[in-house]
Amino acid sequence: MGKNRKDMRAKQQASASSASKTTAIDIPEEEQWRIIKESGILKQAGASTAAQEAALGGDDEDYEISPLADEVFRALFLAIPMSFMLLLMDILVHYQYGRRPTFLDLRDRLLPGVPIIYVFVFYSNRYKADKRAQAALFWLSCLAGGRLIWLLNRGNWLTVMQQCPPAATAWIFAVVQLNLGPAVLSLVVAGAYTWYKGFTLNI
């Protein structure tokens, strides 16, 4: 008796599972789409997606950066390495003449230099695409490069210590900000000036 009940339950479960399998397979695709459309599941999914996009769009608007703030941060990204370049050149020129720079020497170089560098970087970034700005940067590169080469060959030690770090920083900055063609041309001008005057670049 117990075995019959168990056998009957097993047969009922097997027939129920086979019936569910056959009904899932037997429903045609058109009928499935009709059921999905009538249930409204797709509309609910679309509405929740639109709500999520609206929420994300609201977050983007909250964190939108103003153009001035963007310019300030872009100027910082270039002003910081240029300030360190000025510091490095000052340290190197001190060691070139066997002097160890003190904190006060470096502070006296950086306090007036960093604000000038930042203002210069800010405005050159803003007008970098302008042809007049490119021409000004080209002439700055030629003049700063020529002055640096002349100082290294003919300047006395005190003049070299005072003028080489800003001249080197200005030259590097101008070449970095120039487009490729004018940058290469300015380096050719510096090389031609070095060759014409018979200077060397030995430090």
Residue 6 has pLDDT above 80, yes or no: no
Q: Compute CA distances 138 → 61, 146, 194, whole Å.
A: 40, 12, 17
| Distance separating the N- and C-terminal Cα atoms of the chain | 108
Q: Give the mean pLDDT of 141-148.
A: 96
Cα 175 to chain centroid distance, Å, stands at: 19
pLDDT tens-digit readout, 155-195: 899 999 999 999 999 999 999 999 999 999 999 999 999 99
- Residue 200's pLDDT is 86
Residue 113 has pLDDT above 70, yes or no: yes
Confidence of residue 100 (pLDDT cuts 50, 70, 90): very high
Q: So what's the pLDDT on residue 64? A: 80
pLDDT in tens, 14-68: 665 555 555 456 778 788 778 777 777 767 766 666 666 665 555 545 568 888 8
Separation between Cα atoms, residue 94 and residue 91, nearest integer Å: 5
Average pLDDT taken over every residue of the chain: 84
**Looking at residue 110, what is its pLDDT?**
93
